[in-house]
Chain A
Amino acid sequence: MMSLPFLIFACALGAAWLRQRGVAIGLWVAGLVVLLVLFRIHVTEVLSISL
């Protein structure tokens, strides 16, 4: 699952190379959403700082 955003961005690059700009940008948005979800999943520890 952690490799999924790399795969999506690699596909976005492939689409860009094939001159499919809309597809490339769509894939980039999907990759960014997956990245944010994975970030949320891995933010599990409470920071040991008091503000």
Chain B
Amino acid sequence: MPAELSRLLNAIGLMAIVTVLALAFIDQLWFRDLPCPLCILQRVGFTAAGVGIALNLIFGPRPSHYGITILGASVGASISIRQILLHIVPGTGSYGNAIFGLHLYTWAFIGFALTIIGSAILLFDDRQFAHPEPWSNRLDVLPLTALVTFFLLAVGNVVSTLLICGIGLMGQCPDNPTQYLLFH
């Protein structure tokens, strides 16, 4: 796989994670569906996975960067599985809005699984790690847009989580938030 193709595929992957994080924000702000603690931690999982892809875009593809993405997505998948299991028995309710019949934590698990599978497939091609051509430091529009948007969403989540959970120590974040804690 040529270096430029690797960079393009990684940029598309990071844009997919950016889309997931942006959709979560739209659900929170537009539909007033405040994220629960486990939902916030799943957003963290997507951010952790995205850091590996960002490293690929900035430093060039390396197996360790794909490892970062796979580990981050694995932790995120564990969190979403935990939330799926909380509601898997009929009559135990659910959390948040359903989109196309599935709740956001189920979609999150699918997203994490696709991230792991995509990273594993990209790892198959050893030629991207051989550096036959120099890795350009100049980023094209798509990788640059993905990186900047991803960084802004990470910072946005810092602010959003502070507003929802307050600035106190751990455990203060309500299980079923109905308002921004920092405003009350």
Contacts and interface: CB of A to CB of B under 8 A. Distances in A.
Contact of B170 (A2, A9, A10, A43): A2
Contacts of A3: 157-159, 161-162, 165
A45 B64 CA distance: 35
Contact of B37 (A2, A21, A36): A2
The binding surface of chain B is classed by DSSP as: helix
B51 A42 contact: no
B1 interface: no
Contacts of A2: 37, 40-41, 161, 164-165, 170, 173
Interface string A27-51: 0100110011011011101011100
A27 to B, nearest CB: 9
Contacts of A5: 44, 47-48
Nearest to A5: B44
Interface residues of A, number: 31
Interface in A12-30: 12-14, 16-17, 19, 21, 24-25, 28
B85 A32 contact: no
Contacts of B68: 25, 28
Nearest to B171: A41
B72 A48 contact: no
B151 interface: yes
Given A9-B48, A35-B44, 18 more contacts: A1-B172, A2-B41, A2-B173, A3-B162, A3-B165, A5-B48, A6-B47, A6-B155, A6-B161, A9-B47, A13-B54, A13-B151, A16-B59, A32-B48, A42-B41, A48-B89, A48-B92, A49-B85
5 contacts: A5-B44, A9-B154, A10-B158, A32-B72, A35-B75
Interface of A: 1-3, 5-7, 9-10, 12-14, 16-17, 19, 21, 24-25, 28, 31-32, 35-36, 38-39, 41-43, 45, 47-49
